[in-house]
Amino acid sequence: MSTDTVAPSLPSPYALSPEARELLFTEARTASKFTDDPVDDDRLRAIWELFKWAPTASNVNPLRILYVRTPEAKDRLVPLLAPPNQAKSASAPVVAVLALDTRFTEHLPTLYPAIPQLKDAFEANPELREENASFNSALQAAYFLLAVRSVGLAAGPMKGFDAKAVDAEFFPDGRWRSILVVNIGKPAPDAWSTRLPRLEYEQTVQLV
C-alpha cells in the first residue's frame, strides 16, 4: 500500500481510551444469557463505589439497589418478570432490582448540608418530590449500568416486570419502589442478539 493512501492521523476528540470506550459504549451490549461464574460481594460494592459519584440534581441520590443472588430469593423474583425475561434472570448469577427511595428527602440534611431548608421544600411539594425522585433515580440507573460494565460484567436491563408485585414481595413497607431490573454476570457465548439501529446525528441534534 502506498503511504499516500494512508489517512492523516488526526488527533482523537476523546480523552477516554479506545479500550474504555469499547468497554462502556461501543462494544458493550445488553446480555440475555450468563455463565455460572459467581459475582462476589467485592464486585457488587465496586459497582456502587464508582457510580455513586456521578451527579444528581440537588445531590438527592434517590437510587437504591436490592441485589438478588441466593436461589431462594431468585425463586421469589423470577415469576414476577415478564415471561420472555424469566429465563434471562434465571441464568444470571445476580439480579439487581433498582428502586427509588420514596422518602429520599430524609437524607437531604446529610447530602446537602449547606441548604438545610431543602428537605422541607421538597416535602411541601409532592409533585416536585416525585418528579425529582423519578428523574434522578433514572440518571443513577444509567450510571449503574455503565458501572456494571466497568467491573468487567455484562448488564441486562429490563423494564418488563410486574413492578407492583415486585414491590409487594421485596419492599412490603412501601418505602422503595422498583424502577428497573438488571441481570448481571459474565455473558454466555450466545448472550447477544443483533445490535439494534440508532438514529442519525442529524435526526437528534441541532446546533444554534
Ranges within 75-134 binding its own copies (CB under 8 A): 107, 110-113, 134
Is residue 152 a contact residue for its own copies (CB under 8 A)? yes
Cβ neighbours around 177 below 10 Å, total:
19
d(CA 17, CA 152): 16
Q: How many residues form the binding site for its own copies (CB under 8 A)?
A: 76
Per the listing, cell 455513586 goes with 52
d(CA 30, CA 194): 10
Is residue 8 a contact residue for its own copies (CB under 8 A)? no
Minimum distance from residue 182 beta carbon to its own copies (Å): 10
Nearer to its own copies, 2 or 60 (CB): 60
Of 17, 79, 84, 116, which lies in the binding site for its own copies, with binding defined by CB under 8 A?
A: 17
In the numeric block, which cell numbers belong to residue 58? Answer: 440537588
Question: What's the one-letter identity of residue 189?
Answer: P
Of 33, 34, 44, 166, which lies in the binding site for its own copies, with binding defined by CB under 8 A?
A: 44
Of 123, 129, 142, 165, which lies in the binding site for its own copies, with binding defined by CB under 8 A?
A: 142
Is residue 7 a contact residue for its own copies (CB under 8 A)? no
Of 26, 117, 124, 189, which lies in the binding site for its own copies, with binding defined by CB under 8 A?
A: 26
Of 35, 67, 90, 186, which lies in the binding site for its own copies, with binding defined by CB under 8 A?
A: 67
Is residue 140 a contact residue for its own copies (CB under 8 A)? yes
Q: Crossing angle for the helix pair 126-150 and 41-51, nearest 10 degrees?
A: 120
Nearer to its own copies, 54 or 90 (CB): 54
Nearer to its own copies, 2 or 206 (CB): 206
Looking at the DSSP bridge assignments, the partners of residue 177 are 100
Stretch binding its own copies (CB under 8 A), from 25-33, 80-88, 117-125, 184-192: 25-33
Q: Where are the alpha helices (DSSP H) in 14-173?
A: 18-21, 41-51, 71-77, 83-91, 108-111, 118-123, 126-150, 163-170
Is residue 147 a contact residue for its own copies (CB under 8 A)? yes
Of 34, 63, 81, 191, which lies in the binding site for its own copies, with binding defined by CB under 8 A?
A: 63
DSSP state of 189: T
134 touches 100 (CB < 8 A):
yes
Radius of gyration of the chain measured on its C-alpha atoms: 20
